Structure 1
Amino acid sequence: MNRFTLTKVSLAVLGLISGSASAAVTIYDDPEVASVSVDASFNTFYVSSSTDNDISGIDRDQSRVKMGFLPNYVGMNFSKEIDGVKVGGRSSFWVSINDSNTGVTSTGIDVRQFYATLDFDWGQVLIGKDFTLFNRSNIFQDEILQGYGNVNDTLGLIDGQGVSFGNIGSGYTYPMPTAQITYRSPEFAGGFKLAIGLIDPANTSTDTGASRSSEESTPRIEGELTYNTKFENGTFNAFVGFLSQTTESDIQGDVDSTGYSYGAKVNVGGFTLNASGFTGEAIGLLLGPSDNALGLQNLFYENGNEVDSSGYLLQGAYKTGANRFVLSYGNTEVETEVPWEMDGTQAAWFYSYNSAVTFVVEYDLNEISIGDASEEVKSIALGAIVNF
């Protein structure tokens, strides 16, 4: 295992959108010019982690003061009506505050969103960089999204400069922000919406580098169909999604990445039940086809065949007044000859002090296994989140 490569995992997931958790502040609004707004989110956690590690053979206890699953960010939104077309755009900058442990004064600033949108009567077209569609709703509906989630030493997350992992690798893969051209339909048939995207493909073969002969002759295609409805004292939403791309290689052979995601969430009164999952071939453990950037091509293709991956996430939550309580369990398996598996269990209490400030108390149990060796990590996280 390339430890140096895997420590980059925490940096690779610096960005997750949290628009549902923050309200934009309008800083300029002129119908003749444009409307401009800013949104921002800040969080910090005190975390105590204890690891029992058979993979490295090193057990240790570690305390950190760091950000949680969502990084700190500032985003800017633009919109203007021109000749019957609503033209929009978003740019967001995501910041790591954990620069004292591994990268002194080298705070990471990452651009996770930089796109324009064109809204017509027949739908919206997005051009630029944004989160992709496969497993997008899996992660955005995660009840632990604003919490802490999984960390371990095997993936370099306890001491890493980036975020913790939430349930990435223990329930879903990360919809890695990528250049794309995506169409989103208007709502139809009483609550359905369809999104289809042409995504910049990733090389999933071992034939890499500047002189590679492998190729992606067509872009990656991803799609998602969502359904949302309201009823008395509650809401229901569901989704299905897919991913398809091929890397062609005379050296290794073609690698066909395919994936299917699904899920449903129901809110009744103060109770929420959330269930999601995915299955596929050659989509890895963490970042989907972008796992290649972490040196994990062996999780895509082995002995002439694409490797199967699957995962699921089950959650229950209860909200009363300013309090929200969450129980969560997720699992992901990658069926290589030496199989990879990760489980994540969380119990969390979110307290909304006011409309902008939320406090979090969370207990996390994470286990990652590679063959017969495993690492178990118990963490307690105490955090504060401020949203604008």
Structure 2
Amino acid sequence: MNNKNLRKSGMVIALACAMGASMGANAAVELYNKDGTSFSVDGYFNAFYVNRDDGVSDTRDSRIKMGFLPNTIGFNFSKEMGDLTLGARSSFWTTINDSLDSPTDTAIDVRQFYATVDGSFGQVLIGKDFGLYARSNIFLDEILMGFGSPGVAGGVSFGNIRAGYPYPTPSAQITYRTPDMGGFNIAVGALDPADTVTGANDENSAPRIESEITYSTDLNNVALTAWLNGRYQSAENGPNTVDSSGVGYGLKGSVAGFTLAASGFTSEGDSPVLIANEPLTEDKADGFLVQGAYAFGANKVVLSYGETDAEILNLETESTTVGFFHDINSHFKLVAEYNMYEDKNRTTGVTTTDDDTIALGAIVTF
């Protein structure tokens, strides 16, 4: 299928990286392909049995929850128009854990709803998509299709968000991506800014600027991927000004079934969890994530460790995950995972969360 925007969409990149050889970047059900026009649908469905031991409250809880990636259905469109290829993607993400909180009312959010124009110049994306800052940090996470650290009671887990990287919050944007330049790819975007100062008349005189540089190569059968991303914005209200900035980075290498990866971030005046309209200070945060994985046959074993030290939230976290992934076939995967997550008050050193979690899940894709 000749669909450039599909190959570059966040969901497809994420799943392709997470599933490796078991899922290509063009995995979808093609419904129409004729005269340069194509339309396809892709889906991701999962559920986990989760057993959690809460060391702070000394309680044990069992749930049926979804994993780090919510259940999703996406629609992709592509049309060749002379030297240009027009594309579009809309994806709908839903929780399966709101049934008892809001009976018969399922929360659905739209994280991608954009159009693309591809040509020899590269690509321009207009609409809503994941941000560029911390994008590869999360999409190249080895436990992306697992469970990870605890999240909110009625939604997804947090994976390694707040314990290694922040979330690249989907935002309205206009983003330009270069063509491939010998393994280098550059993306620069103007994104809708967040109000980060207190008051009713926040002023954002310029958009949020985010960018990412990625480089992929193969050196003597060692597949290497490196990335550097960042963001900057300034918000003010009278004498109150908050300048927000962040830098993310990482390196991942694979050879003969073995994978080693290390990534990190540092930020100032920026939430280390997710970008949102909320009052912030110009305090700092930083974190890192290190992972090792070994794939053999239809199996993959992952060991992951991440930390975040957030002066801005007065928080210190660490998360350790051991995961086992088994492909029944190219569209059906089983997951077993054990996670140890802890966070502390940075000032007092008091432990606020101390959870050990066992998660057993199944994933179906098309």
The normalised TM-score by structure 1 is 0.86
Q: Secondary structure at the residue paired with 2:237?
A: coil
Q: Secondary structure at the residue paired with 1:133?
A: coil
Unaligned runs of 5+ in 2: 1-9
Corresponding residue for residue 281 of structure 1: 268
For residues 279-318 of structure 1, what are the structure 2 equivalents within 5 Å? 279-287=266-274, 289-290=275-276, 292-293=277-278, 297=279, 300-301=280-281, 306-318=282-294
Deviation string 1:30-87 (CA, Å, 9 cap, x unpaired) is 115x20011101000000001122xxxx332110001000001110110010121000
**8 Å CA contact retained: 1:103, 1:161:** no
1:216 aligns with 2:204: yes
**Cα offset for 1:233?**
3.2
Corresponding residue for residue 52 of structure 1: 55
Instruction: Could you list the structure 1 runs, at least 4 aligned residues long, displaced by more than 4 angstroms after superposition.
Output: none
Corresponding residue for residue 307 of structure 2: 331
1:185 aligns with 2:184: no
Corresponding residue for residue 258 of structure 2: 271
Alignment partners' CA distance in 2, 1:256 and 1:86: 38
Q: Secondary structure at the residue paired with 1:137?
A: helix
**8 Å CA contact retained: 1:16, 1:71:** no
Corresponding residue for residue 221 of structure 2: 233
Q: How many pairs were matched up?
A: 345
Alignment partners' CA distance in 2, 1:16 and 1:80: 20
Bigger mean CA offset, 20-29 vs 44-53: 20-29
- The one of 234, 237, 242 equivalent to 1:246 is 234
Q: Secondary structure at the residue paired with 2:329?
A: coil
Corresponding residue for residue 64 of structure 2: 65
Alignment partners' CA distance in 1, 2:11 and 2:96: 15
Alignment partners' CA distance in 1, 2:205 and 2:289: 34
**Cα offset for 1:285?**
2.5
**Cα offset for 1:137?**
0.3
Q: Secondary structure at the residue paired with 1:138?
A: helix
Alignment partners' CA distance in 2, 1:345 and 1:110: 29
**Cα offset for 1:213?**
1.9
Corresponding residue for residue 43 of structure 1: 46
The letter of the residue matching 1:204 is T
Alignment partners' CA distance in 2, 1:216 and 1:29: 44
The normalised TM-score by structure 2 is 0.91
1:353 aligns with 2:328: yes
**Cα offset for 1:102?**
2.1
Corresponding residue for residue 93 of structure 1: 92
Deviation string 1:8-48 (CA, Å, 9 cap, x unpaired) is xxxxxxx966441451110011115x200111010000000
1:108 aligns with 2:107: yes
Alignment partners' CA distance in 2, 1:256 and 1:320: 47
Alignment partners' CA distance in 1, 2:11 and 2:330: 21
The letter of the residue matching 2:290 is L
Corresponding residue for residue 130 of structure 1: 129
**Cα offset for 1:232?**
4.0
Unaligned runs of 5+ in 1: 1-14
**8 Å CA contact retained: 1:181, 1:197:** yes
**8 Å CA contact retained: 1:16, 1:70:** no
Alignment partners' CA distance in 2, 1:59 and 1:203: 39
Deviation string 1:130-179 (CA, Å, 9 cap, x unpaired) is 00000000000000000000016xxxx2xx22100000000000000000
1:199 aligns with 2:194: no
1:387 aligns with 2:365: yes
Alignment partners' CA distance in 2, 1:319 and 1:214: 50
Deviation string 1:179-214 (CA, Å, 9 cap, x unpaired) is 0000000111x211100000000001122xxxx122
Corresponding residue for residue 161 of structure 1: 154
**8 Å CA contact retained: 1:343, 1:366:** yes
Q: Secondary structure at the residue paired with 1:254?
A: strand
Task: State the Cα RMSD in Å.
Answer: 1.5
The alignment-based identity, stated in percent, is 49
Corresponding residue for residue 373 of structure 1: 350
Deviation string 1:96-132 (CA, Å, 9 cap, x unpaired) is 1112342222111111100000001111000000000
